[in-house]
Chain A
Amino acid sequence: MAAETGTPTTLTLKSNDDELFSVAESAAILSVTIRNMVEDGCAGGVIPLDNVDGKTLASVITYMNGISAIPADEEKKKSYRDKFLSDKDFETLADMVLAANYLNMSCLMDAVSAKIAQVMEKKSVGWVRRKFGIENDYTPEEEAAVKEEHKWTFEGVETDDDN
């Protein structure tokens, strides 16, 4: 469609902290949100992405370019995703899952949420509260009762002083 209407094949994306990024349209339309904008003809100038900061957007674009350069080979795409996410810390992953959700990129959403789950697998309750910014609304008695009920699930939990 883009070729027919003569739309340039490079898009400019703008993060919420006003950074500009050029990205090939063929890679950018991995995001259904961007694809819809392109199809609606809203992509002529700069596409503002109000929910994504520059650092995260740069990372997402790296992913878009990387994954779209891989031909249809699910194994290779999977290993690219694994490698792409392997060195990301929790905060980055959380930013990326929000961005993937906003940009409606199901493959990235799947991969990042699976990675977060993998990171959480052996973490303590305290770690989860800290990282997710969750307030403990249990009374001490209630908390003790819930913990007691599932006591065995606290075996083998990593110690809390890590990141």
Chain B
Amino acid sequence: MALPIEIIEIVLLKLSVKPLLRFKSVSKSWNILISDPVFVRKHHLRQLQSKGSKNLFLVKNSEVNSQGFSLVKLEKGRKIQTLQQVFGPYLWATVLCFCEGLILISDLSNENFALWNPSTRTHTIFQATFYCGEAAFGICHDPITDDFKVVIAKSYDYSVYSCNNKSWTMLEKRYETEYNDYRVEYELGVCVDGVSYWASKHKPQIVYYDPRDDKFKILRVPENIDYSRSDYGKSIYLVDLSGFLCLYYEGHDKTVVIWRKGKGIENHTWSELMTIENMEAPLRWFEPKYLLGNKIVIRIKETNHSGRLVVYNPCKKRFQEFKDTKMVFGWLGFVPYMDTLFFPIEKSGRIITGEFGFPIEK
């Protein structure tokens, strides 16, 4: 059955990355189509739109000496299905930020960084020539130039790596105003609408890096938030829920209040999304992660190396455990996953797959 190429394209846009890469072998014209940046972009946008319904996450494997992640799917009936093993660029790694299918990851030295696309298994490595302790990390996607930028923000200055330029376009640049305004300390960026957001440790304030004009800015938080500050940790926390930037904080009487920002960089309006009652763990160990229908999936850390998933039903005000998941995952080991062919740096000698003496395949 010969289908015209326009229809083949419509079909291929609905495939996931693994068969798409496999079908580059079908013929030269299929290879050209699947490799075409326009096709890659269309596929990327489609995946971005449907990301909220795929329920896919990467979970850092807990075994010692495992550089792997498990790709898991949250399913109905509070089950976690493991789909496959995915291997990252570092043996011991810290996931620093997730943005549109790309993961910023560092090794333990905090000097070596990689941008990694786990769905194509491509990554590129770059080095920081400066000290990155206590830094805040983020990835931004400039909608105008289509450039992906890695932002490393410290107390007094910040650095920006541009994937388009394959270099640091800003190195330890001083903030324009009083550093305290933007200070976020060690914090992982939450990337929404191509912008990286961080919650300040010291006051209920959100700082973001706008990739369009390369400036740090302050995002106003809702005026009437009424948080009860605990002695430990921060007052407000950020999370991406279904593509919306959300903030949450501990309210009174063991509640967690979640607010949602309107869609779009310029939209700074907040509305209350949900109040979780009967919170059982301290807020710093309690991480709303994902909206599953009208319920919310929460990761509860037990120690730095283990945790469990529960789902909260706001109508019934009830928590339920995920089933059959003696899934232990450590700090930061639960990352959203988006299947995309997109990688911001064109193939070059710097793309390394399967080196460092560990297998890239199972």
Inter-chain contact A155/B361, CB cutoff 8 Å: yes
A85 to chain B, nearest CB (A): 13
A90 to chain B, nearest CB (A): 7
B195 to chain A, nearest CB (A): 31
Inter-chain contact A153/B1, CB cutoff 8 Å: no
Tell me the complex Cα distance, A128–B10, Å: 15
Determine whether A72 belongs to the interface, using a CB cutoff of 8 Å to chain B. no
B296 to chain A, nearest CB (A): 21
Q: How many residues does chain B have at the interface if contact means C-beta atoms less than 8 Å apart? A: 28
Determine whether B144 belongs to the interface, using a CB cutoff of 8 Å to chain A. no
Q: Which residue of the partner chain, among B1, B2, B19, contacts A90 with CB atoms under 8 Å?
A: B1
Contacts of A91 in B (CB 8 A): 1
Determine whether A134 belongs to the interface, using a CB cutoff of 8 Å to chain B. yes
Determine whether B26 belongs to the interface, using a CB cutoff of 8 Å to chain A. yes
Q: Which residue of the partner chain, among B2, B14, B25, B30, contacts A147 with CB atoms under 8 Å?
A: B25
Inter-chain contact A136/B27, CB cutoff 8 Å: yes
A148 to chain B, nearest CB (A): 10
Q: How many residues does chain A have at the interface if contact means C-beta atoms less than 8 Å apart? A: 38
Inter-chain contact A134/B362, CB cutoff 8 Å: no
B211 to chain A, nearest CB (A): 31
Determine whether A77 belongs to the interface, using a CB cutoff of 8 Å to chain B. no
* CB neighbors of A among B4-58 (8 A): 7-8, 10-12, 14-16, 18-19, 21-31
Contacts of A131 in B (CB 8 A): 1
Tell me the complex Cα distance, A148–B361, Å: 13
Given known A-B contacts A121-B16, A152-B360, A152-B361, A97 and B11 have beta carbons under 8 A apart: yes
Determine whether B261 belongs to the interface, using a CB cutoff of 8 Å to chain A. no
Tell me the complex Cα distance, A114–B45, Å: 16
Proximity string of chain A (150-161) to chain B, C-beta cutoff 8 Å, 1 when within and 0 when not? 111111010000
B234 to chain A, nearest CB (A): 40
* CB neighbors of B among A129-163 (8 A): 129, 131-138, 143, 146-147, 150-155, 157
Inter-chain contact A157/B22, CB cutoff 8 Å: yes
Q: Which residue of the partner chain, among A95, A109, A128, contacts B26 with CB atoms under 8 Å?
A: A128
Contacts of A120 in B (CB 8 A): 11, 15, 19, 23
Tell me the complex Cα distance, A34–B333, Å: 53
Contacts of A33 in B (CB 8 A): none
Determine whether A116 belongs to the interface, using a CB cutoff of 8 Å to chain B. yes
Inter-chain contact B12/A134, CB cutoff 8 Å: no
Inter-chain contact B27/A122, CB cutoff 8 Å: no
Q: Chain B residues in contact with chain A, CB under 8 A?
A: 1-3, 7-8, 10-12, 14-16, 18-19, 21-31, 121, 360-362
9 A-B pairs with C-beta separation under 8 A = A95-B1, A97-B11, A116-B14, A121-B15, A122-B19, A129-B27, A137-B29, A150-B25, A153-B18
Kindly list 5 other residue pairs between chains A and B, CB separation below 8 angstroms, not including A120-B19, A155-B361: A97-B3, A114-B14, A136-B26, A138-B28, A153-B22
The 8 A-B residue pairs whose C-beta atoms are closest, nearest first, are A117-B14, A153-B22, A94-B1, A150-B21, A153-B21, A133-B2, A113-B11, A125-B25
